[in-house]
A and B are shown apart, each in its own frame.
Chain A
Amino acid sequence: MCSDKVILALMVLCSTVAVADEAIRDTTRLEARPVTCVAVHRGQTCFKRIRLSWTTRMTGRLCVLRDGAAEPLVCWMGGARTDWEHDYASADGERYRLVVTDADGVPLDTLATTSVDTVWVYRGRRSVSGGWRLF
């Protein structure tokens, strides 16, 4: 009984440490440059090297995640890293999250988000049976 209380107390303590307070969250920034990738024809995948940069006072283990991806783009401890170059390749766009994680890499809290979108020069026309574009 006593040990259960100790475990519970430790869990609460850990979660309190891992979750950022509002002050940290308000000053945390995650940016992507550039924020758009331009391909020629609608529906095409666009390729671009994106620079993700961040500022935060959060300590602990931090990662940048791409939504939908199983693995984080990059992880580090404390202020050891402030940017990362990512090879963007998407037809729809990508959303990134700066998160604090536990030691196993499990996200505990999202500190900031940003996104990159794909746009097309010929964006007003429907794809034809697999996407022929004639100009």
Chain B
Amino acid sequence: MSLHKSIGTLLSMLLASPFVAADTGGALESGGYLELGTAVYAERSIRVRLDGEDRRPTDTGAGLYVAGAWRKGRAFVEGRRGGVDGASLGVTLWYDERRTLELLAAHLPGSVKIGFRVGEDDVGADSDDRDRNAALLGRDQVVGTSGLRYREYRGDTLLQASAVADWQHGNGLLLGLHVGHRWQLGNWNLQGIVGLQGAGADLVDYIYGVDEDEATTRFAAYRGEDTLFGEADLKITRALGRDWVLRSSLLVRHFGDGITDSPLVAAADALSAELGVAYVF
């Protein structure tokens, strides 16, 4: 088993962890929780399919759901599978009653998946076109980043600004602005998030670019450009018992030209939905 991300979901998941369990506020309380469960999901990728010009069909399945957060003083670790959140190891640099500034020492944007690595990344130049096309569309890439995250709490509204840099591959930048709000309708909890992100050319190129030596008859060389993309996420949770929660989420993203112009991409909008049950430790 290995942690990996597929290229198609990676940038669609790139997000500087806007609302992952930074339960800091006016005082830092040590402790945390772990959530384990199962979820069914449906994902509509922006990537082109290998055997045609259309986008890939909707991917559906069931999987393990893991989420957790733990804090000790100013240090914290947090993460969850799926949705817009990533995984982070960080330190709270400064805080007051309703604001926090955090250093994300190590941050994996997007959704960490647990599965078997397919290992198609390293297809040589002498491979045939189909193998090289498959490698371009199926390569696994992980982006490790570091940066800063600022949050401001206004009642049930949360504002966030973030800036992280990819220190693994070319130091591409990822900037984000997000607003979240939550509602309680009876025992149902709703949390809506809208955001705008800007990915630097180096980062886009790393994920959706096609180098000259990677180009094929079908996929011409492409150099990624600075790109904006918007996203909206709706999460719904409800208690099923003292330690059980029902959770669902719907995430929509719209990508800019720097990404959609890539020959690897067939659509501008990505969609993912998830429904699951989790036990909270």
Report yes or no: A38 in contact with B23, Cβ–Cβ below 8 A: no
C-alpha spacing A51/B44, complex, angstroms: 46
Q: How far is the CB of A130 from chain B (nearest CB, A)?
A: 4
Report yes or no: B237 in contact with A128, Cβ–Cβ below 8 A: no
Report yes or no: B158 in contact with A40, Cβ–Cβ below 8 A: no
Report yes or no: B156 in contact with A41, Cβ–Cβ below 8 A: no
Report yes or no: B245 in contact with A124, Cβ–Cβ below 8 A: no
| A40-B245, A121-B245 given; A134·B23 CB < 8 A | yes
Report yes or no: B242 in contact with A134, Cβ–Cβ below 8 A: no
Report yes or no: B184 in contact with A45, Cβ–Cβ below 8 A: yes
Picked from A40, A124, A130, A132, the residue with its CB within 8 Å of the CB of B187 is A40
Question: Is A81 an interface residue when CB atoms closer than 8 A count as contact?
Answer: no
Report yes or no: B153 in contact with A134, Cβ–Cβ below 8 A: no
CB-CB under 8 A from B245, the residues of chain A are 40, 121
**Stretch of B27-35, B102-110, B132-140, B213-221 that contacts chain A:** B27-35
Question: Is B223 an interface residue when CB atoms closer than 8 A count as contact?
Answer: no
C-alpha spacing A127/B182, complex, angstroms: 14
| A122-B280, A127-B25 given; A133·B182 CB < 8 A | yes
| A40-B187, A132-B156, A134-B23 given; A121·B182 CB < 8 A | no
Report yes or no: B67 in contact with A131, Cβ–Cβ below 8 A: no
Chain B residue at minimum C-beta to C-beta distance from A45 = B184
Question: Is A119 an interface residue when CB atoms closer than 8 A count as contact?
Answer: yes
C-alpha spacing A38/B187, complex, angstroms: 8
CB-CB under 8 A from A18, the residues of chain B are none
CB-CB under 8 A from B33, the residues of chain A are 122, 124-125, 135
C-alpha spacing A39/B237, complex, angstroms: 10
CB-CB under 8 A from A40, the residues of chain B are 187, 189, 237-239, 245
Question: Is B61 an interface residue when CB atoms closer than 8 A count as contact?
Answer: no
C-alpha spacing A48/B186, complex, angstroms: 9
Interface-centre pick from B22, B67, B182 (highest chain A CB count, 10 A): B182
CB-CB under 8 A from A16, the residues of chain B are none
Within B16-52, the residues touching A (CB, 8 Å) are 19-27, 29, 31-33, 35
| A132-B182, A135-B35 given; A36·B26 CB < 8 A | no
| A47-B187, A125-B33 given; A132·B158 CB < 8 A | yes
C-alpha spacing A36/B24, complex, angstroms: 28
Picked from B27, B98, B153, the residue with its CB within 8 Å of the CB of A126 is B27
Chain B residue at minimum C-beta to C-beta distance from A48 = B187
Report yes or no: A121 in contact with B239, Cβ–Cβ below 8 A: yes
| A122-B280, A129-B25 given; A46·B31 CB < 8 A | no
Picked from B21, B97, B243, the residue with its CB within 8 Å of the CB of A134 is B21
Complex interface bits, A41-71 against B, C-beta within 8 A gives 1, otherwise 0 = 1001111100000000000000000000000
Residues of A bordering B, CB below 8 Å? 36, 38-41, 44-48, 119-122, 124-135
The 3 lowest CB-CB distance pairs between A and B, nearest first, are A129-B153, A128-B25, A130-B155
Q: 5 new A-B pairs (CB below 8 Å) besides A133-B189, A134-B21, A135-B237?
A: A40-B187, A47-B186, A121-B242, A125-B29, A130-B154
